[in-house]
Structure 1
């Protein structure tokens, strides 16, 4: 049976090494090999394409679920239907990826969940946080990759990270964070 790693991330995410380390650590947490895993992503520039290339390089199958930016649905508000590009397409795609199920969700934001005073909302990780929140609410263990650490987002993510840390003899940090390298390096 294939373990699905759902990932969501910012279009400005560009850290190749942390991406590879996070995927390797996730395989350890799930107790599967590269051939037993699949990475589901939204096919956007940035984190999605970088993680897909990284996964393929590690021998992990990938499943792209691109947003249909040129398609409106009956759920689209009237103000959006007049636009050529559907502003809700990314949120619909996130819901489709969540509904398909996953064993874990990894989020790679480049901005905090809430805006700082004066911060431009255009350059934030709104879609990343939308998908991570939907995954958490669906009961999918969700971990946020911030710097070189995993941070749990919701109880199932905290439980998964705690099990992994216990198996590796690690103590979680004050915010229940764990260093990514500590999860998968053999020493």
Structure 2
């Protein structure tokens, strides 16, 4: 099962991400593949951290990391990365928003996922 993860780089509460991923993991008919960005903080980092921990415990979770070329593409890098993530295919998109943050990248990825027919589950972290 392919799970696209998108979310604010400002998310610090791991439990919001971990809980959603554990729920998908527990009910998935096939092993999980996470489709995630390469941000060193926030939802991207937390999803990759969760996958590493679960794999260490014996469950295989594959991670596909999509990079954004900020140096070359500037502000277009994020939306281009989001489009590649969505185009790679997913069975569900988990979106994690931070209240009080811009959440532009997350909102963009959610719009693309919905347009591609990917079901979206949204969660909010309080300030």
TM surpasses 0.5? yes
Match of 2:54 in 1: 58
Whichever of the two has the greater Rg, that structure is 1
Match of 1:23 in 2: 21
Q: TM-score, normalised by structure 2?
A: 0.86
Q: Given that residues 39 and 61 in structure 1 are in contact (C-alpha distance below 8 angstroms), is that contact kept between their aligned partners in structure 2? A: yes
Match of 1:39 in 2: 34
- Separation in 2, partners of 1:89, 1:30: 31
Higher RCO structure (Cα 8 Å, ≥6 apart): 2
Unaligned ranges ≥5, structure 2: 56-60
1:139 aligns with 2:127: no
Encode CA deviations 1:151-180: one digit per residue, 9 max, x unaligned.
Answer: xxxxxxxxxxxxxxxxxxxxxxxxxxxxxx
Unaligned ranges ≥5, structure 1: 73-85, 112-118, 148-187
- Separation in 1, partners of 2:42, 2:21: 16
Q: Larger % of helix: which?
A: 2
Q: Displacement, 1:31?
A: 3.0
* Other structure's SS at 2:3 match: strand
Q: Larger % of strand: which?
A: 2
Runs of 4+ with deviation above 4 angstroms:
none
- Aligned residues between the structures: 120
